[in-house]
Structure 1
Amino acid sequence: MRPATILSLGLISLGAVIVMLPFVWMVSVSLKPREEIFTPDVFLLPRQPTLSNYWTVLTETDITFYLLNGAIVTLGILVLQIAISVPCAFALAHRRFAGRGLLFGAIVAALLVPFHVTAIPIFLGFSQIGILNTYTALIVPFVATAFGLFLLRQAFAQIPAELIDAARIDGMSEMGIAWRVAFPLGMPTVIAFAIFSVTAHWNDLFWPLIATTDPGLATPPRGILYFRDQESGDDIGPLMAGATLVTAPLILAFLLAQRRFTQGLAGAGIKR
């Protein structure tokens, strides 16, 4: 093996260890009894593993309710994002209309604008129409996604124009082509976008912290704050157990879809 290859593998391994260490520590602490956590000595793995912290979380907090809220919000956002992005991205890729290039440029420019810039105007607007503290307030701001439009447009642009024209000759409508031809062919990219979307909104604390004050609408990150302040206090073990339960669905989803995720990113190359 060449020295350059060894160096590359070493750097990749080091990066992986740095990224994974906080997660390993989180799981380790969640399995430690209290007396092993607050000690002057640091041990990466628990000496006497216990599930008592998980039992405390599941029986004495509303963690399952927070997970349910997270599922409702993230899936609601994802379904509406795909419902809007697929036909719009198809039109940008395979329809000719005035201002198409300008519109695509605006979408690319929108990628540079963080949500935090528009959060306050959205909050004020929602306050005026009275939809704060609702699932609607948590879902609607993210339905239109510049990232989803860009990613899907790039994937759909790689579909041969001859295939689209053949579908039109067969009498298929434009919406039918978008959903019955482009959507299945772009499925790897759709899955890649779905992972990005679910991860971002499952972990989002900023907007739920602004848009809701009702504990009954708390998503997992917001729920962890309630858990820390009201239930756990300085009891780090249950807090880490709750964080592990919140993180586990994302890791499982990624492991199940990692192959399609990689294919989706590779297939959404730059094409004009």
Structure 2
Amino acid sequence: MNRGSLKPVIFEHAVLSIGVVYSIFPFFWMIITSLRSSGDAFNSDSLLWPTKWDVVYNYTQALLTTPLPRFLANGVFVCGVILLLQIATALPCAYAIAKLSFRGRTFLTATVICCLAIPFQAVALPLFVGLAQLDLLNSYFALISPFAVSVFAILMLAQYLRGYPDEIIEAARLDGLSEKGILWRLILPASKPAIAAFAIFSVAAHWNDLYWPLIVVTEPDLAPPTLGVLFFRSEESGDQTGPLMAAATIVTLPLVVFFLAAQRRFVQGITMTGVK
């Protein structure tokens, strides 16, 4: 490699390194703060490394002061059910848009794209009023039902399925396989990379969601992880920074593990769907 071509490579790696440090530093500070005493959290002399360690107290408070394991279980249940419902509704719709010919398909696709442009906050109030009138607030149904259908999942899976060979589908129909059988026995197994990629987006979004749970849930037994972390706030004594960061670390860990487990499928799914 000559010197002229080496300079752009060094510049690119320098920019990437700065981006990595910028992205990782909040997590580094969160973990370090979870290991130090609350009074030492904003000490400028020990910003990057604690002078007073309080690991046992912080994590004990995080696990015992509030029912953090229950919050984590609620998060797993809510995110899991939402993901299953989204896949169950999105895959047939995506298959119909990508592989079936019917009147109004273009209009249906345009409608789905338009729905993607509507922010959730715009429909949050009507959803809240409807759930309140049906006396369904403070329930798992209130946390799950608004997200049972994902237009993003429909578009992502439809884009993926457009690359699936039509010849295989036609051969399956000639062999007498129904559309339901094609969907279950051919499309579902072939869509695993795209489903894994979407699962990362879905689980991360709903695991980290605070806006909707803060509106519809007031009972601690139903609180997801992000809402449960707020119990470490105290109006009288201020935030318990050490336990708060310990709880945030515990809440973040399942997402990291989930992403690492699905990383290969995620990259494959993103590459094949063309999502940038």
CA distance in 2, matches of 1:189, 1:230: 45
CA distance in 2, matches of 1:192, 1:230: 41
After superposition, what is the alpha-carbon deviation per residue over 1:136-161, rounded to whole angstroms, capped at 9, x for unaligned? 01001001111000001111111010
After superposition, what is the alpha-carbon deviation per residue over 1:155-195, rounded to whole angstroms, capped at 9, x for unaligned? 11110100111111111111221121111111111000011
1:87–1:179 contact (8 Å) kept in structure 2: no
**Structure 1 position 35, deviation (Å):** 5.2
Give the alignment's TM-score, normalised by structure 1: 0.94
Q: Residue type of the partner of 2:9?
A: T
Q: 1:36 aligns with which of 33, 40, 60?
A: 40
After superposition, what is the alpha-carbon deviation per residue over 1:47-87, rounded to whole angstroms, capped at 9, x for unaligned? 56543111221122211111111111111100111111111
Which has the larger displacement, 163-172 or 132-141? 163-172
Q: 1:220 aligns with which of 202, 218, 225?
A: 225
CA distance in 2, matches of 1:139, 1:221: 15
The correspondence of residues 1-272 of structure 1 with structure 2, limited to 5 A, is 2-34=6-38, 36-47=40-51, 49-52=53-56, 53-229=58-234, 233-269=238-274
CA distance in 2, matches of 1:234, 1:226: 10
1:189–1:268 contact (8 Å) kept in structure 2: yes
Work out the percentage of aligned pairs sharing the same amino acid. 46
After superposition, what is the alpha-carbon deviation per residue over 1:107-143, rounded to whole angstroms, capped at 9, x for unaligned? 1121111111111111111112121111001001001
Structure 2 residue runs of 5 or longer lacking an equivalent are none
RMSD: 1.8
After superposition, what is the alpha-carbon deviation per residue over 1:14-38, rounded to whole angstroms, capped at 9, x for unaligned? 1111011000000001011345335
2:156–2:194 contact (8 Å) kept in structure 1: yes
CA distance in 2, matches of 1:3, 1:136: 56
1:61–1:231 contact (8 Å) kept in structure 2: no
Q: Residue type of the partner of 2:202?
A: S
CA distance in 2, matches of 1:30, 1:225: 15
Shift of the 200–93 alpha-carbon distance from structure 1 to 2, 3 Å rule, reads: same
